[in-house]
Amino acid sequence: MIKKILIANRGEIAIRVMRSCREMGIKSVAVFSEADRTSMHVRFADEAYFIGPAVAAESYLVIDNIIDAAKKSGADAIHPGYGFLSENAEFSDRCKKEGIIFIGPSSYAINTMGDKITARKKMQTASVPVVPGTTKPISNLKEAIKTVKEVGLPVMIKASAGGGGKGMRMVEKEEDIVSSVTAAKSEAMASFGNDEVYVEKYINSPHHIEFQILCDNHGNGIHLFERECSVQRRHQKIVEETPSPIMTDEVREEMGKHAVAAAMAVNYSGAGTIEFIVDDNLNYYFLEMNTRLQVEHPITERVVGVDLVKEQIRIANNLPLELKQENLTQNGHAIEVRIYAEDPDNNFMPNPGTIKHITEPLGLGVRHDGYVYEGYEIPMYYDPMISKLIVWAPSREEAIDRMKRALYAYKITGIKTSIPFLHKIMDVPDFKNGRYNTHFIQDNAKYLNKKVEPNNKIKDVAAIAAFVNYLSTLDENVNDSSATALKSNWKNFGRKKSLNRF
Amino acid sequence: MIKKILIANRGEIAIRVMRSCREMGIKSVAVFSEADRTSMHVRFADEAYFIGPAVAAESYLVIDNIIDAAKKSGADAIHPGYGFLSENAEFSDRCKKEGIIFIGPSSYAINTMGDKITARKKMQTASVPVVPGTTKPISNLKEAIKTVKEVGLPVMIKASAGGGGKGMRMVEKEEDIVSSVTAAKSEAMASFGNDEVYVEKYINSPHHIEFQILCDNHGNGIHLFERECSVQRRHQKIVEETPSPIMTDEVREEMGKHAVAAAMAVNYSGAGTIEFIVDDNLNYYFLEMNTRLQVEHPITERVVGVDLVKEQIRIANNLPLELKQENLTQNGHAIEVRIYAEDPDNNFMPNPGTIKHITEPLGLGVRHDGYVYEGYEIPMYYDPMISKLIVWAPSREEAIDRMKRALYAYKITGIKTSIPFLHKIMDVPDFKNGRYNTHFIQDNAKYLNKKVEPNNKIKDVAAIAAFVNYLSTLDENVNDSSATALKSNWKNFGRKKSLNRF
Amino acid sequence: MSYEIKVNDEVSDIKVLNRDGNLLEIAVDNRKYKVDIIEVEKGVYSILLNGVSFNIELISSGLKKYEVNTLYNSFDIEIIDAETKYMNSRKSGEDEDADYISTPMPGKIVKILVKEGDLVKGGETVVIVSAMKMESEYKVVNDRIIKQVLVKEGDNIEGNQPIIMLGEVEE
Amino acid sequence: MSYEIKVNDEVSDIKVLNRDGNLLEIAVDNRKYKVDIIEVEKGVYSILLNGVSFNIELISSGLKKYEVNTLYNSFDIEIIDAETKYMNSRKSGEDEDADYISTPMPGKIVKILVKEGDLVKGGETVVIVSAMKMESEYKVVNDRIIKQVLVKEGDNIEGNQPIIMLGEVEE
């Protein structure tokens, strides 16, 4: 059985994995780059090892360094989290070769699913419906134009090695084909070290719905129902929920079976996600498989009542799945929002900086998976996501109310975050009604870009607070000898315990 | 419908009620004593009003002041939380008279259940089993001795108006009768303004198991299953869980019916708790009814999936219960621990002080209901409970693992807390096996008083941290002009981004 | 003790009329308030105004400038004392800031698409900067001439650092 | 730069042998450590020692005294510099502190059960103090004589404040 796990990741997911390790009595080992010495995952782990410079390509993505750290620590398994090396077949193989358990699928499954084109073919063989598109990667720009015209505009250009919206471009006009392919290739190279891209037919009014699956090494496979991930900005998910508000029991069952079949087609082992693109009539097409834990896995955990990381570890321990499809149910409704360090008023520009003050939302039905703390400086080298807020309630309506309450109570100062933007999403009629697709953000710009105009009173209250702070600071800076009386006047402001009242 | 609720309380419960108010779109009004101007409930509320001096008897217990604040704010309802005026019949009546909805039962129900002796008689009439004991309050010490001898030692002396272990004394020896009765009366007077006490037969190897009930104003009553509250110190609960590890389905159903019958016998309205004392053979006796929300209500919320405060408010709005007994189930296992500001190494002495640093436990299956924050000074006037940690997992075993993980991650410095003690409880074999009764703490002293002897390494690591801090501070205090070079040597210690490595 | 205070771009007079412990009578222009104000955490104030509870978080930069966060708004606030007034009076009449491209956050120069002396059309991208795994294109708004390129590809830059100086195009 | 450091009641020598950024070679008595140490929050240090990650929280009282919390332990630590040594050398030879009853935390005197001149038996309660809604009885350990009662019922008291002075009973 696994006794010590190295988590080849950082941020909230590293901590989330470590929590389950601790509950299982397994030691956790962190790795960190130069930018991450003060990061919470280093502090949270039982052990921590340095793996290189800040840039991920020289640390978190360097297989040799990770393996070295694993050997140094005596870890018998590696959990890759999401991103970084989580879908790197070479890494999966290397772990195997080194006698370290890779908590994730085989290189075969990663390679087959990781290459979107091979995956499409595999799915077609397994009778899983796929989106019309290219059957091989685009090798040059001239060919790109030809291929796009064949599939027919609008199309999506996608990185073969991709995921998470990176290296992805939509093309509507012919004159944008070249620039989009170039940009997608450049981003794909920067993000994945592989610039292969391919083309897919663009589905109108598309919903992004994915199924969580678990497969063991004994031929058992189950799904843990769907997640609705259609609220996206620049193809990046920002709000996820389960159950999907458009799902029916019939389609759910059918899609679930297709999801398990998709995973089985590559002899999958571990936790994975089958992403589907779904139209308004609930026609669905296999989009891709993410051969790892997803950012949004907690909503499934909450509604199904399963710790997915523990399941991953059990499967890696070669144990058969104890969960049975027929015993699994969706209980209530869960929503996750992703909190990014970004400026919603300035085109969602990433906004790294130092956390001055943080108040985390607590209480009934709220889970908060984060990693920042007061005084922590968010590095500019990695993803700007700083935390995830997950709420549960018996009904979708109550879950939305709860999310609004949690967002209201969640305060981070020092950096700009997406919290105000997420709060607005919860109030958009299309979201409240559950009638939305991946165009939700652009379709609802009028709600989402609306500014709350402050009234005089709130402006004055803000001014009063600043003014009182200014006067207190003035007093503190006054030289003792010259004006002791004045000094005590403001410095201890608010420290008196017994007060007169108006 | 209620639009604005005044919460006649402080601390975690005030904030917990406000959270549900916010989710329901109801405005919340805080009240605060002189000691509580900086308290979180004041900051969390939409409005806040001052109600008097620090001592509760001159503020939180003064009905006139609470009513004044309600009128000033225009609140149409009052939620009393637990403790303070929550079981005060006069307050319930007064609210009614003033046209303000009291979110709790009628004075009739409070009076009947609040007076333990009347309650016993009522229960006997309703065929609910009760513990043998006195039928009227003890009026003088001579009589006390006589009565105790009649019931037979050992006995419990209890405050008629009591609850929460206050004004409660166990008597085993005859010579202790007088001192115990005197002490119980004095504590009862101080805590409840009423020094009536009564005597009950002491049950051997007793389990404290209680049932959560909800009754509306339309004759509907349901129970939301049991809570096991046998882990007590000085008759104060410190760990609660649900389901009870000793419960059977048959007894649960029977006890649930008796619990509902008990509440119905006083035409109960709202949320309440029927406490039973249960022996090892699952014989159970009505102990008392708490006519309010309990501290430990969150474990029921988690396992049954119901927001009890929302239910209270709906009932107060005169709505019929939507929950049906036949649809309710217990899903998984929940455990709550209470974190007190106290020194477990010093006879659990309350340990008020200023919170220097706090790291709250987060993640899957953890709920944290607290109210303190960094820089907050815990007042010495009120209960030393600072927060509650509630965990859920599919199984009891996993819930214990999770609680240990949460306690591990929960750090509060500046004050001593019960966290290390609670951590030890989770490791006691009797607790892990679910074989414990209210003598758990004394029976397991050998586990609970055990000290972890630090090794040299951890001592040295602590010394190194202190020494480095000392050197850094020294440098900061060096005068600029004299030694700028030295100053920069330690002051910015650890602020460097690029580091050499050994 | 009367001061001026600038909230975003609006200047008001502010004056403490009376103080009793943490109870304050204060006037902002001619609007008078009685507030109960207390610093509950470093930089966090709890204010009660006619019973209504406000939480105000301050991030100060220098002695007189604040970013002030209320529940739904964020304000840039500056206390204008005699010194500031003097500085402002000296400043007025000076030219505007030089025209340059900069980024609001630290990042890395991915690609520079222009060189000194280039004429660029309004809307044309001049530089691509990467920060936190996102590439952002920086464009000129109007037709401009590239006066100077201050960085090279691969450079790490600070937020608000001038990276490309722009000149007006003569018609 | 060698110091003595007192951890609870044990005194050790402590000496920085080498420092490179936040990498430190340090000796405690003759035990040598290579640590990676960094202050991650005010008063919170992250220490890596042979890969093992420690979180150490310091609460300083004065310049040289600390309460230091590790995961499962809490230590009172004092840096002993020349000044402290001098103070300690002066102190030795003085009498012990006067004998008195005090409470570890602030509270309120509920009941005083003795008066000046009373002889009390060991184990007898002399005062009841209420703090945070709990009443605690304070007893004498051995037979004692009450020398002075410094408070009266209803008084609020600070932590560690002498409340009743005790004298030895002559046999």
Contact B375 C38 (CB under 8 A): no
Q: Is pLDDT above 60 for C79?
A: yes
pTM of the model: 0.85
Q: Which residues of B touch C55 (CB under 8 A)?
A: 43
> Number of Cβ pairs closer than 8 Å across A and B?
106
Average pLDDT taken over every residue of chain A: 90
Q: Looking at chain A from residue 262 to 301, which residues have their Cβ under 8 Å from any Cβ of chain B? A: 298, 301
pLDDT at B405: 96
C-alpha to C-alpha distance for B76 and B89, rounded to whole angstroms = 19
Comparing B75 with D160, the larger pLDDT belongs to B75
Cβ–Cβ contact B423 with A under 8 A? no
Nearest residue on chain D to B234, alpha-carbon basis: D134
Nearest to A216 by CA among A80, A305, A298, A311: A311
Question: What's the average model confidence in pLDDT over B16-42?
Answer: 97
pLDDT at A496: 40
Comparing A3 with B480, the larger pLDDT belongs to A3
Task: Please compute, for residue A493, the number of CA atoms within 13 A of its CA located in the half-sphere on the CB side.
Answer: 31
Q: Give the number of residues written for chain A.
A: 502
C-alpha to C-alpha distance for A473 and A476, rounded to whole angstroms = 5
> What secondary structure letter does DSSP report for C74?
E
> Number of Cβ pairs closer than 8 Å across B and D?
162
Cβ–Cβ contact A368 with B under 8 A? yes
* Band of residue A480 on the pLDDT scale cut at 50, 70, 90: very low
Q: Give the number of residues written for chain C.
A: 171
Question: What's the average model confidence in pLDDT over B81-97?
Answer: 97
Angle between helices A308-316 and A297-304 (to 10 degrees): 100
pLDDT at A343: 84
Q: Which residues of B touch C41 (CB under 8 A)?
A: 373-376
> Number of Cβ pairs closer than 8 Å across B and C?
38
Element (H, E) at A239: strand A236-242
pLDDT at C86: 66
Average pLDDT taken over every residue of chain B: 90
Q: Do B259 and B211 meet the contact criterion of CB atoms below 8 Å apart?
A: yes
Average pLDDT taken over every residue of chain C: 84
Nearest residue on chain C to B375, alpha-carbon basis: C41
Which tokens in the block code for residue A266?
């590559």
Nearest to D48 by CA among B406, A29, B404: A29
Q: Looking at chain D from residue 81 to 140, which residues have their Cβ under 8 Å from any Cβ of chain B? A: 104-107, 110, 130-136
> What secondary structure letter does DSSP report for A364?
T
- Could you say which of B227, B292, B302, B314 is catalytic? B292
Upstream peptide bond of A243 is cis (omega within 30 degrees of 0): yes
ipTM above 0.85, yes or no: no
CA quadruple A433, A437, A438, A444: dihedral positive or negative?
negative
B208-219: pLDDT as tens digits? 999 999 999 999
Maximum Cα interatomic distance, chain A, rounded to a whole number of Å: 87
Cβ–Cβ contact D160 with A under 8 A? no
Among candidates B37, B47, B376 on the partner chain, residue whose Cβ is nearest the Cβ of C38? B37
pLDDT at C92: 46
Task: Please compute, for residue B64, the number of CA atoms within 13 A of its CA located in the half-sphere on the CB side.
Answer: 3
pLDDT at A392: 98
Contact C58 A343 (CB under 8 A): no
Pairing mode of beta strands A4-7, A27-33: parallel
Which tokens in the block code for residue A40?
């919470």
Among candidates D14, D69, D134 on the partner chain, residue whose Cβ is nearest the Cβ of B467? D14
Angle between helices A396-409 and B11-23 (to 10 degrees): 130
Which tokens in the block code for residue D63?
């310049």
Comparing C15 with C170, the larger pLDDT belongs to C15
Q: Is pLDDT above 70 for B486?
A: no
DSSP A33-54: EGGGTT-HHHHHSSEEEEEE-S
Q: Do A312 and A240 meet the contact criterion of CB atoms below 8 Å apart?
A: no
Nearest to B90 by CA among B63, B56, B65: B63
pLDDT at C168: 82
Phi and psi angles of residue C58, each rounded to the nearest 5 degrees, phi first: -110, 135
Contact D46 A49 (CB under 8 A): no
A341-377: pLDDT as tens digits? 998 777 788 888 899 889 899 899 999 999 999 889 9
Q: Is pLDDT above 60 for A275?
A: yes
pLDDT at A134: 76
Contact A332 B305 (CB under 8 A): yes
DSSP A88-113: -HHHHHHHHHTT-EESS--HHHHHHH
pLDDT at B163: 66
pLDDT at C87: 64
For residue A223, the SS3 value is: strand
Q: Which range (A158-167, C83-92, D71-80) has the least confidence?
A: C83-92
Among candidates A19, A306, A369 on the partner chain, residue whose Cβ is nearest the Cβ of B405? A19
Contact D35 B470 (CB under 8 A): no
pLDDT at B164: 63
Q: Do A167 and A192 meet the contact criterion of CB atoms below 8 Å apart?
A: yes
Q: Which range (A82-86, C44-48, D58-62) has the least confidence?
A: D58-62
Q: What burial letters (b/e) apply to A266-300, b meaning 16+ CB within 10 Å?
A: bebbbbbbbbbbbeeebebbbbbbbbbbbbbbbbb
pLDDT at C107: 82
> What secondary structure letter does DSSP report for B324?
-
B281-307: pLDDT as tens digits? 999 999 999 999 999 999 999 999 999
A483-501: pLDDT as tens digits? 333 333 444 444 443 343 3
- In terms of C-beta density within 10 A (0-12 exposed, 13-18 middle, 19 or more buried), how is residue C52 classed? middle
User: Quick count: other Cβ atoms within 10 Å of Cβ C116?
Assistant: 11
Q: Give the number of residues written for chain D.
A: 171
**Domains assigned to chain A:** 4-103 (3.40.50.20), 132-201 (3.30.1490.20), 205-331 (3.30.470.20), 341-452 (3.30.470.20), 461-495 (no CATH)
User: Quick count: other Cβ atoms within 10 Å of Cβ D162?
Assistant: 16
Question: What's the average model confidence in pLDDT over A247-256?
Answer: 97
D99-141: pLDDT as tens digits? 788 877 778 898 899 999 898 888 788 888 887 767 778 888 7
Which of the residues A37, A40, A354, A371 would you substitute to probe the D interface, choosing the one with the greatest number of D C-beta atoms within 10 Å? A37
Which residue reads 């009439």 in tokens? B125
Q: Can B120 be counted among the known catalytic residues?
A: no
Q: Which residues of D touch A72 (CB under 8 A)?
A: 51
Question: What's the average model confidence in pLDDT over B331-343?
Answer: 95
Contact B459 D75 (CB under 8 A): yes
| Domain D2-80 -> CATH class | alpha beta
User: Quick count: other Cβ atoms within 10 Å of Cβ B212?
Assistant: 28
Question: What's the average model confidence in pLDDT over A174-178?
Answer: 87
Please give the torsion angle defined by the CA atoms of residues A191, A197, A202 and A205, in that order, rounded to the nearest 10 degrees. Answer: -10
Alpha helix segments (H runs only) across B101-176: 107-114, 116-125, 141-151
pLDDT at B137: 81
| Domain C93-168 -> CATH class | mainly beta
Contact D135 B187 (CB under 8 A): yes
Inter-CA distances, D148 with A14, D115, D142, Å: 61, 8, 17
Instruction: Tell me the nearest-neighbour CA distance from D170 into chain B, angstroms.
Output: 30
In chain D, residues under CATH classification 2.40.50.100 are 93-168
Q: Is pLDDT above 80 for C42?
A: yes
* Band of residue B402 on the pLDDT scale cut at 50, 70, 90: very high
Please name the amino acid found at residue B238: I
Contact C51 B72 (CB under 8 A): yes
Inter-CA distances, D94 with D90, D101, D102, D160, Å: 8, 21, 22, 21
For residue B261, the SS3 value is: helix
Q: Is pLDDT above 60 for B499?
A: no
Please name the amino acid found at residue A209: I
Which tokens in the block code for residue A435?
């009638």
Comparing B176 with B320, the larger pLDDT belongs to B320
A contact chains, 3+ CB pairs < 8 A: B, C, D
Comparing A399 with C108, the larger pLDDT belongs to A399
User: Quick count: other Cβ atoms within 10 Å of Cβ C97?
Assistant: 7
Cβ–Cβ contact B29 with A under 8 A? no
C-alpha to C-alpha distance for A147 and A211, rounded to whole angstroms = 30
Nearest to D135 by CA among A364, A16, B183, A186: B183
In chain D, residues under CATH classification 3.30.700.30 are 2-80
Please give the sequence-ordered ranges of beta strands (E in DSSP) within chain C, or none if there are none.
2-7, 10-20, 23-28, 31-41, 44-49, 52-61, 65-69, 74-80, 100-101, 107-112, 119-120, 125-131, 134-139, 144-149, 156-157, 164-168
Question: What's the average model confidence in pLDDT over D31-53?
Answer: 94
Which tokens in the block code for residue B294?
């309990």
Bridge partners (DSSP) of residue B52 are B33
C-alpha to C-alpha distance for B1 and B22, rounded to whole angstroms = 15
Q: Which range (A395-399, B117-121, C114-118, C155-159) has the least confidence?
A: C155-159
